[in-house]
Amino acid sequence: MNSTGPFDPRKEAHLLSAYVDGELNSQDVARVEAHLADNKESRLEVDGLRRFNQVTGSLRLKEAPPEQWEGFWNSFLNRAERSLGWLLLTVGVAIIGTWSLYNLLVALVASESLPLYVKGGIFAAAAGILVLLFSVVRERIHKRSKTRYKDIIR
């Protein structure tokens, strides 16, 4: 902090909180105390901060019962296992599907017995399916990330 000169309450208001918490060095303590001697508004601010510290310092968190912790860990493990399972399944299906689609496309392009318009129709249908699949997956991911109540249990 080590500022020099008179205390400027507009630029150094954060020092009042640090003063109440006892986090200032002796030079800054002297500057703040000199300012407090002359400024009633800052003294009121410091008094409010001290009352706030007293109130928040007396608050204690309630310990959760052991049954809730057990339920939490069971739920956490179930979600982790299922998430890993879905991830592995999705990766596997994507790899196999990509390989199959590639081989299908190679076979269609190499086939001389199919007319060009049939090949074009197959490519258009495959492209449409891919676009729709991508759209649905993108929408689901977007909605999941924006849903505020996804973890609410009724």
Rounded Cα distance between 97 and 99, Å, is 5
Provide the pLDDT for residue 93.
96
The mean predicted confidence, pLDDT, of the chain is 85
Q: Which two tokens stand for residue 97?
A: 């599907």
Asked if the model's pLDDT at residue 134 lies above 90, the reply is yes
Dump pLDDT digits (tens) for 34-51: 888 888 888 898 899 999
Rounded Cα distance between 15 and 11, Å, is 9
Rounded Cα distance between 135 and 92, Å, is 21
Dump pLDDT digits (tens) for 68-85: 877 787 788 888 999 999
pLDDT exceeding 70 applies to what percent of the chain? 92
* Cβ proximity of 36 and 43 under 8 Å: yes
Measure Cα distances from 137 to 62, 140, 142, 154 in Å.
41, 5, 9, 27
Rounded Cα distance between 82 and 61, Å, is 32
Q: Which two tokens stand for residue 101?
A: 């689609």
Q: Give domain limits for the chain.
A: 14-57, 111-154
Confidence band, pLDDT 50/70/90 cuts, at residue 87: very high
